[in-house]
Amino acid sequence: MNRYSLKIVYMLCALMLISSSCVPRRIKNSFIGCFDGMPTGLDSLLDLSGVFVSSRTNDGIEFACQVLIFYNDGIVVSFGGWGLGECDAYAQRTIYQRNTDPKRCQRFRIVGVSRTNTGGLYKIENDVIIAQFLWSPSSFFYQSDVVRYRIIDRHTIEEIRFGERVRTFRFLPIENLPSSDNWLKSQRWFWCDREQYRRHRRERRFR
């Protein structure tokens, strides 16, 4: 391979890297809102001192688990999967790992610290939480999904699609939840105010 061909390869690799790190404009423009860091008031409707969990069972054995964390600043994080064992124990173990070893969690993409985890923004309309999640299942494209949750009481919510209940989430109290900081907050387009974004970046730099 000659020098000219090598330059073309390097340029293509650079373009792929840049494109893979950018959220498409269509997703940015269709996002449900922007982040301003102000209290949403969700803590008056839900208990936010823990997480909300939903599990699927087969012959009484839990084989799938999804965990939601709602923060009062508008951030929502979701994580879970299959073959994780008992759902409550999985949620507690994951939060513990995030709090005690953030670098390890970043390598294994746990709790909103990387692009492959599902995080996003929510807003409240009457008794319904509208959440938009954004994630990158590979290095080259992003996906986004809007999910609605109906608030039943302070400790119960239902995921609804097309007006029908899909599954129920129950509250699980957990001490020392991780902060709402996640990769989305490093994106300028995610913020409502440019100065707030700059202030956040400065604060992160000196932690």
In a domain, residue 14? The reply is: no
pTM score: 0.78
Could you list the residue range(s) of the whole structural domain that residue 162 is in?
A: 24-205
What is the reported pLDDT for 195?
92
51-68 residues labelled b (16+ CB within 10 A) or e (exposed) = bbbbbeeeeeebeebbbb
- pLDDT by 10s per residue, the chain, length 207: 555 554 444 444 444 433 444 777 877 877 888 999 899 999 999 999 999 999 877 666 666 888 999 999 999 999 887 767 788 888 888 888 877 765 554 444 444 433 345 789 999 999 999 999 987 655 556 778 899 999 999 999 999 998 899 899 999 999 889 888 888 888 899 999 999 999 988 877 655
Cα–Cα distance for residue pair 85/63, rounded to 1 Å: 7
In a domain, residue 4? The reply is: no
In a domain, residue 15? The reply is: no
Question: Number of folded domains in the chain?
Answer: 1
Q: Indicate if the alpha-carbon torsion angle 180, 184, 187, 190 is positive or negative.
A: negative
In a domain, residue 175? The reply is: yes
What is the reported pLDDT for 60?
61
139-to-18, 37, 132 alpha-carbon distances in Å: 11, 28, 20
What is the reported pLDDT for 207?
53
What is the reported pLDDT for 18?
39
What is the reported pLDDT for 67?
92
In a domain, residue 19? The reply is: no
Ranges of beta strands (E only) in the chain are: 50-58, 61-70, 75-82, 118-125, 128-135, 143-153, 156-161, 164-173
Q: In 10 A of CB 93, how many CB atoms?
A: 14
In a domain, residue 167? The reply is: yes
In a domain, residue 183? The reply is: yes
In a domain, residue 10? The reply is: no
CB 81 within 8 A of CB 64: yes
For 40, the 3-state DSSP assignment is: coil
